[in-house]
Amino acid sequence: MNAESCADAYWVRIHEGESHLGAGFLLTRSFVLTALHVVSGASGDDVRLDLHLPDGKRVPGRLCDRIEESDLALVAVLDAHAYDLPPAPPTDRPRRGVAWLGTYRPPDTKTALSGRVTHAPITHRSDAHGEFTGLQMTVDQLVHDFAGYSGSPVHAVPADAEPAEWPVVGILMEQELSRADGSRDTNVVFAASVQHAAERFPCFDIAHLREVAAGKPMLVPGPRPPAEPRPDPPVDIDGYLKKVRQLLEDGLITPEEAARSRERASRALDAQWLGGVSDD
């Protein structure tokens, strides 16, 4: 197995039907970690997603948890036990000065990315996608626009480590924009620390995993419940009737129009206090 193929086993292309959404990677055999903005193009929170693996295998998934303030999302692999998926990749905290490698390539793109970690750990605040703890990196390839690489894994390449030991240290999130004209014409990108990202999701909490090891059932996140409908604001019946009376006295509406308005007010009062039940 060559060096890149060791790091090539974990990335995932996320699709909804024929629509390609972006990248993620297998954090475990059962969960794919990605950036929330990658899956924001899906038609809903509970839709089925198709996860395309490097070996050509396709497995079903579903968005199961999100952290909006950090732009992170977790996709559950449905019936994960039925597929021969790779084990969890080695992970590590990000370190400054280490070379990095990303073997993921967006569809119809030949370029894989690599470079060097210049700052770690950092707290990065995105104008559009929230705040996360992670790393700042340079990219050797002159791609200019790194759209399509978000969500893909960032492997550290320590000089003294074998390829099979290259840990995943981050999840690629976004590109620094040019300060001159705001274009995507820089070779600086930001990644969220994979350990920080995993710690944000309750199902990976260390205390919880210890309980699972002791025999308790594992906490599996599910689809978020639909938001409670907001109640309609109360109707100001008295104010409405005063307005009708004033319009009638000023000659701006006819008595017939005033009567119809009072009838509508009565029905609105029924709906507010009696749930729409009336004697009509």
Global pTM reads 0.72
Cis peptide bond N-terminal to 167, omega within 30: no
Q: Is the confidence at residue 215, as pLDDT, over 70?
A: no
The percentage of the chain sitting over the pLDDT mark of 90, rounded to a whole number, equals: 42
The percentage of the chain sitting over the pLDDT mark of 70, rounded to a whole number, equals: 75
Helix, strand and coil in the chain, % to nearest 5: 25, 30, 45
Condensed to tens digits (0 to 9), the pLDDT of residues 111-121 reads: 999 999 999 99
Mean pLDDT of the chain: 81
The span from the CA of 153 to the CA of 32, in Å, is 11
What six digits make up the tokens of 200? Answer: 């944000």
Q: Which of 127-131, 162-166, 213-217 has the lowest mean pLDDT?
A: 213-217
pLDDT of the residue at 278: 39
Q: Do residues 223 and 45 lie in contact, with contact meaning Cβ atoms separated by under 8 Å?
A: yes
- Structure confidence at residue 218 as a pLDDT band (50, 70, 90): low
Q: Residue-wise over 59-68: b if at least 16 C-beta within 10 A, else e?
A: bebbbbbbee
CB-count burial class (<10 Å; 0-12, 13-18, 19+) for 207 = exposed
Condensed to tens digits (0 to 9), the pLDDT of residues 177-192 reads: 877 776 677 899 999 9
What does the DSSP 8-state code read for residue 91?
B
- Structure confidence at residue 236 as a pLDDT band (50, 70, 90): low
